[in-house]
Chains A and B, each alone.
Chain A
Amino acid sequence: MAELTLDSVTKVFNEGGSDEIVAVDDLSMGIEDGEFLVLVGPSGCGKSTTLRMVAGLETITGGEIRLGSNVINDTSPADRDIAMVFQSYALYPHMTVRENMSFGLEESTEMPDGEIRTKVEGTAAMMGIEELLDRKPADLSGGQQQRVALGRAIVRDPEAFLMDEPLSNLDAKLRATMRTELQRIQEDLGVTTVYVTHDQTEAMTMGDRIAVLNDGVLQQVGTPLECYHTPNNRFVAGFIGEPSMNFFRMTLADGVLSGDEFSYRLPADIESTLGDATDLTLGVRPEDIEFASETGDLDEYDYECVVDVVEPVGESNNVYLRFADAPEAPTFIIAISGMRNVSSGDRVVATIPPDAIHLFDNRTGEALKNRSLAAVDGVTPR
Chain B
Amino acid sequence: MSTAEDGRRPKRIALYVVLVAMAAFYLTPILTGLMTSITSPESYTGQSPYLPPLEPLLPGTGSFSLQPWTTALGELGRGLANSFILVIPATVFSGLFGSMAAFGLTNVDWRGQVGIYATLIAGIFIPYQAVLVPLTQFWYNVVPLQSLFAPLTVLPFVHEYHWKLVALIVTHTAYGIPICTLLFRAHYKKLSDEMIEAARLDGASVATIYRRIVLPLSIPMFAVVFIYQFTQIWNDLLFALTIIQFGDAAVVTQELVGIGVSQSGTNFPLRMAAALLAALPTLVVYVLFGDKFAEGVTA
Chain A residues close to B by CB (< 8 Å): 55-57, 76-80, 82-84, 86-88, 90-94, 103-104, 107-109, 152, 156
Contact = CB atoms under 8 A, between A and B. Distances in A.
A90 B208 contact: no
Contact of B194 (A82, A88, A152): A88
Contacts of A104: 201-203
B115 interface: no
Given A90-B194, A94-B216, A107-B208, A83 B201 contact: yes
Nearest to B203: A108
Nearest to B197: A57
Nearest to A156: B202
Given A86-B194, A107-B208, A92 B199 contact: yes
A87 B195 CA distance: 11
Given A90-B192, A92-B195, A108 B202 contact: yes
Contacts of B216: 94
Contacts of B30: none
Contacts of B208: 107
A54 to B, nearest CB: 11
B194 A107 contact: no
B217 A77 contact: no
A94 B194 CA distance: 15
Contacts of B213: 92, 94
A57 B194 CA distance: 10
Contacts of A79: 203
A86 B199 CA distance: 12
Given A78-B204, A104-B203, A107-B208, A93 B217 contact: yes
Contacts of B217: 93-94
A74 B250 CA distance: 56
Interface in B145-201: 192, 194-195, 197-201
A91 B199 CA distance: 9
B198 A90 contact: yes
B192 A55 contact: no
B107 to A, nearest CB: 13
Given A94-B217, A107-B208, A55 B201 contact: yes
B205 to A, nearest CB: 7
A76 B201 CA distance: 9
A84 B195 contact: no
A196 to B, nearest CB: 14
B198 A86 contact: yes
Contacts, number: 64
- Nearest first, the 4 closest Cβ-Cβ pairs linking A and B are A108-B203, A104-B202, A90-B194, A107-B203
A91 B198 CA distance: 8
Interface of B: 192, 194-195, 197-205, 208, 212-213, 216-217
A218 to B, nearest CB: 25
A107 B198 CA distance: 12
B192 A84 contact: no
Report which residue of B203, B208, B212 has the largest number of chain A beta carbons within 10 angstroms of its beta carbon: B203
Report which residue of A77, A88, A156 has the largest number of chain B beta carbons within 10 angstroms of its beta carbon: A77
A92 B208 CA distance: 14
A90 B195 contact: yes
A147 B212 CA distance: 23
A8 B200 CA distance: 26
A83 B202 CA distance: 7
Contacts of B212: 103
6 contacts: A76-B200, A78-B200, A84-B198, A90-B194, A90-B198, A156-B202
A252 B31 CA distance: 98
A88 B192 contact: yes
Given A92-B213, A93-B217, A94-B216, A77 B195 contact: no
Contacts of B201: 55-57, 77-78, 80, 82-84, 104
A103 B194 contact: no
B103 to A, nearest CB: 15
A147 to B, nearest CB: 15
B80 to A, nearest CB: 36
Contacts of A82: 201
Contacts of A87: 194
Contacts of A156: 202
Contacts of A78: 200-205
Nearest to A78: B203
A148 B283 CA distance: 45
Contacts of B200: 56-57, 76-78
A103 B204 CA distance: 9
Nearest to A57: B197
Nearest to A76: B200
Contacts of A76: 200
A156 B202 CA distance: 8
A80 B213 CA distance: 21
Contacts of A56: 200-201
A94 B216 CA distance: 7
Contacts of A109: 203
A155 to B, nearest CB: 10
A263 B197 CA distance: 56
Nearest to A82: B201
Contacts of B198: 84, 86, 90-92, 152
A55 B205 CA distance: 16
